[in-house]
Structure 1
Amino acid sequence: MARDIQITFDSADPAKLAAFWAEALGYQEQEPPRGFPTWEQALAAFGVPPERRNDASALLDPEGHGPRLFFQRVPEGKQAKNRVHLDVRAAPGLSGDARMAALETEAERLVALGATRSSRLEPAPPMVAGHIVMLDPEGNEFCLD
């Protein structure tokens, strides 16, 4: 039986990192519980103190196909290279110069949102199509593929 998955990010600022990934992937913040127009109102009603209201944030694919993304506050910063990372498919079906141009365009967009460009791997047919390694605003590696 196939399972639904959630991808969880440890974060210093869950709301800020969730906002970056929402823009990067076209995701939306998960709606607050029924009866509450905002998360702020829901958390206040649940008795969550103001200093704890940015402990977590969640995003959903508006079309319902992708996994839920969950961002949780942790006290420690990122220590080493990610052992698992996201590949953002920014140039499906493209190859060669057209592929790399599409990846460059997406890299520029994400840098404007707070990402950092790390490196570029040039195409080496037939096995490597080329990609760009990026860092999200908290330093988590991901690839534009």
Structure 2
Amino acid sequence: MVSVRQVQVTFDCADPERVARFWCEVLGYVVPPVPDGFGSWDDYHAAQAPEERNSWFACVDPTGAGPRLFFQRVPEGKVVKNRVHLDVRAGTGLVGDERLATLQAEQARLEALGASHVRTLVADGVNESCVVMQDIEGNEFCLD
């Protein structure tokens, strides 16, 4: 039997630190400690070779329960729909109008951080409402 393994979710992006800090705000994650020997992340990045500077950043769940999110700089921009996306569980256990109102409140909070609304899927008798959004670089995610 295979034991449960930890996972890391990796995002390709243009500005790793900016996107990581956005997701810290969305999820309540934190920036991990600066590597030993450096006073700040700016100091760490300044010590890297020019082509490596600001090439990655990460954020972690302060409780240790959620996966580490890793953001890596890539030269190409996003051109198609994500094949994998995060579901931000903002309405767990809620139904109907209460769920929709909760999702819309979270949508407004995330839009203030730079996210954009794609569409709202309203409950249809089979599925509950969810909100499809994009982060600050256009990566899709859902509020559900």
TM category, shorter: over 0.9
Distance 1:14 1:78 in 2: 14
Residues 84-95 of structure 1 aligned to structure 2 (within 5 Å): 84-95=84-95
TM-score, normalised with respect to structure 1: 0.93
Match of residue 133 from structure 1? 132
Mapped to 1, the partners of 2:102 and 2:111 lie a distance apart of 14
| 1:22 corresponds to | 24
Moved over 4 A (4+): none
**Deviation sequence 1:8-40 (CA, Å, 0-9, x none):** 000001111111101000000111113423122
Aligned partner of residue 28 in structure 1, secondary structure: coil
Q: Name stretches of at least 5 consecutive residues in structure 1 with no aligned partner.
A: none
Structure 2 counterpart SS, 1:92: coil
Amino acid paired to 2:43:
Q
Query: C-alpha displacement at 1:92, in angstroms?
Result: 1.2
Please give the secondary structure, in 2, of the residue aligned with 1:101.
Answer: helix
Q: Is the 8 A contact 2:60 2:67 kept in 1?
A: yes
Instruction: Give, in angstroms, the shift of residue 72 of structure 1.
Output: 0.3
Give the AA of the match of 2:14: A
Q: Where do 1:72-91 residues align within 5 Å?
A: 72-91=72-91
Letter of the 1:74 counterpart: V
3-state DSSP of counterpart to 2:81: coil
**How many aligned positions are there?**
142
